Amino acid sequence: MKTIVCEQPNEFKPVIAEHPTQKQGEAIVAIKQIGICGTDYHAYKGNQPFFVYPRVLGHELAGVIEWVGENDAGLKEGDQVTVIPYLACGECVACRRGKTNCCAQMKVLGVHIDGGMTEKISVPHENLIKTDGLSLDESTVVEPLSIGAHAVRRAGIQKGEYALVIGAGPIGLGVMAFAQQEGAKVIAMDINQERLGFCQRWANVDFIVNALESPIDSIQEITGGDLPTIVFDATGNRKSMEGAFQYPANGGKLIYVGLVRSNIMFFDPDFHAKELTLMGSRNATKEDFVHVINSIKRGKVDVGSYITHRSSFEEMIEHFDEWMKPETGVVKAIVQM
């Protein structure tokens, strides 16, 4: 079957792979669409943590079940599904507490093990969710939107709170959209003015701030001098993540949604003076996936505008480098089988 392998940084290779075998407890899914995200770009460029080569990328997946054995999940052949790509052990302390998103033995498709940039893949029953009533496009983007939804759930937003979201990429946009749903007054911050305009149109954010133009002054003006009580950093950029400590109000929260392969440093006296809560937000849970699916069905998320670029599977390699260039305006690229 047709497969694309990332052989090493900056090198994709099309190959013919063996078909997955039928396994008890798993279903064989024919992949129909693959979403491309920052993890894939970082892996391709050689700066993705927890990564070894060669690797089949792809964890934002929509497909149709081709084969499934007996199961308690109500899955049957022909079902359209989205994939929860985080394979948890089910036994560690995190899993026992329902935090499968940060399993101690986590294996993420397309990162720790081969992913879905192929025609067919075998997936455990518990990692599949039927997406009846969703289009293939909508089914494909459930995973990246779930990461934003999970971060917002972690934050525990109260209606009327100011929430600053740093980084207007696909994950940051999801954070903005779901923070809006929780009733936050959302401030979007980025260095790209065009992308900030997209935040207003797509996520309906309340305020925008250009990070290159005295952002602290703008944020203080927006919040009446109080600063936002919740700050999300979705940049995956060390400098931004370290600088984010200046933005939360006293008693506020800072949530790292982005991941960077680096140490993060901050000035402890300021951290203690504000009594900040620093949180990491990793992946998402099935609860978040279901929440996103229901939001899409209710028309709360504009998937059509979120997807900006497309490619066939055969032409993906020639487009991939272009998608990483800011001037191309990529928000979410989709690969169609």
Inter-axis angle of helices 170-181 and 142-155, to 10 degrees? 50
Domain boundaries along the sequence of the chain = 2-141+307-336, 147-280
Report the amino acid identity of residue 262. S
pLDDT tens digits, residue range 249-280? Answer: 999 999 999 988 889 999 999 999 999 999 99
Rounded CA separation 7/84 (Å): 24
Would you say residue 178 has pLDDT above 90?
yes
Measured distance CA(8)–CA(305) in Å, rounded = 32
Question: Which pLDDT value is given to residue 50?
Answer: 73
Residue type, 299: G
Topology classification of domain 147-280: Rossmann fold (3.40.50)
- Taking phi over 0 as left and psi of -120 to 50 as alpha, with beta for the rest, 283 belongs to left
Residue 306, pLDDT score: 96
Q: Give pLDDT, residue 298.
A: 96
pLDDT (mean) for 44-68: 92
Residue 121 confidence (pLDDT):
98
Query: Could you read off the pLDDT of 81-132 as tens digits, one per residue?
Result: 999 999 999 999 999 999 999 999 999 999 999 999 999 999 999 999 999 9
Which pairs from 87-91 meet CB under 8 Å and 24+ separation?
A: 87/113, 87/124, 87/127
Q: Crossing angle of helices 286-297/142-155, nearest 10°?
A: 110
DSSP 124-140: EGGGEEE-TT--HHHHH
How high is the pLDDT of residue 35?
Answer: 98
Write down the pLDDT at residue 91. 97
Lowest pLDDT segment from 28-37, 42-51, 312-321: 42-51
Mean of pLDDT values over 140-152 = 98
Question: How many angstroms separate the CA atoms of 219 and 228, rounded?
Answer: 8
Beta bridge partners of 256: 233, 280
pLDDT in tens, 274-333: 999 999 999 999 999 999 999 999 999 999 999 999 999 999 999 999 999 988 999 999
Query: pLDDT tens for residues 186-217?
Result: 999 999 999 999 999 999 999 999 999 999 99
Confidence of residue 6 (pLDDT cuts 50, 70, 90): very high
Report the SS3 class of residue 303: helix
Fold annotation for 2-141+307-336: Quinone Oxidoreductase; Chain A, domain 1 (3.90.180)
